A and B are shown apart, each in its own frame.
Chain A
């Protein structure tokens, strides 16, 4: 291997006399589904090597977080993986609860599980249907988009927002599930299996789809671990690592569910793993909704949870807390925590260092996309351009999560 004129582009000696062309895939390209760039060195239709440029929507969340009160950081986390923002929100809230030592009751935990699993369903629905789109089957995408719309309606009913949800609060929820929310979730969960079965009948055993995805963009379990893969991409390679099981949070240990794994780590396996995870999520939502315990929808955390508006107007203490929280004048205990949740793409980690001030001293987000997207050159070297596009969409690279 010798160095190409652009560094770290490897060219084999027997290819020296060939004319390579450079192809810019992105930053704004329909196939990247977000703003990031791939500079491909092509030999005809075959990819010799690729180099990624990222950072186009970098918004300096880690720096911003150093000047913000904890409740204001929830809105930053929304904008990371915007296909499943409630998971990010709840991940951040549980991190803070771990730092300040709040144990939430079962009702809050189960409510959180319902929302996080709905978010996972919407994340996987988008990703899997987009694999279909990129391989030329637009129909499935249209089928499941309506279901995503229903999930967004559920978010809307719970918190008023659809995409960047800012859902939940430190210590629980801003309000309880109304009967209408419960009804909407129930209707959705009853209806969804039919749609998923329809969607699967379109793609899962479709000859063209299988030919396009099997043995495309594969990675071995060993390389995947070395590259820090997590989530469906790691499980497709055959490693059964799931944060919900390995480090259970929010009472996931109360539930019985299966972690699907693949064998080849290729695009088809990633598709199948996500598809099975949707089925598992449906089961989880159903179980959590059936067994939703009675209890309060928030814990007693006066330093972080806003008091009732009525109390603010009538009780001195509530007024003081309200003021302190809104103005960000709550002192945070000294400490250092790493907490992670299973996001749509894998282990979403929060490393929070507090020095006793009013804002985090340092907050680092471990974004699963950012970690595993660096394996992309290794996964597509030697394959066709059209396969690289399928590999990229099956990795579910979300630009917001990539750049933070």
Chain B
């Protein structure tokens, strides 16, 4: 159903706009073809990083995330975002403050000093769940927007952790997106773009970067990443697709670091779902900033171009 424009306040986070700007650009431009209008959320900050801030002091994490939420409340718009880490901060703090009056009062006590008040009037969504949601977009609509199918390429889906887990704290309706042991909705999204999503061992495993571990013990984080890369490659994957720029950083820059530290070379291209959607809608690799990725995406691009 076209003509039904859905507006969201677009929460950018840090890594997408500041390291992989093609994700930001792709989300905005592909959204136009899907009637998902992403409106700038002026003055937003870091979500803030749930690993670092949650570890230091959960209370400051709540208040900092609440400031971002209030900016969207003032616009009267629900938030759409493109990063699992941001989802944990923004969705989870919104949920906690809506349901815990004591916590909300404590946060508002501090927000009062900056002339703000959390009211709990908006909802928060990840773009990936909106693409899957028939009321907003849905698979058929997504498939119809594709003019350059990504056929002939095998892709490993990395769901990441903080969009779905912990399941008992999330409120996904139905069992499709809510399944954290063996979900398949991300594979369905990838199939809609014409690519083939492969099943691989332990696919719900973490990328290794979260909880501040990437900064604390990079070799430990990379060892987890390396296990995932092994499992993906074993299944014949020719690229990774993710819904989280931080996971993307860990896989993309991480492969370079793995080569340096462990002497293992993978050269597996890593793309955010928005970037893949951009390609499938005919955006060029340069328009998507794929040349900014540490691991060259050329093998993937050759494959899809060769398939046409």
Say whether A associates with B.
Answer: no
Query: Which residues of B are interface residues toward A (Cβ below 8 A)?
Result: none
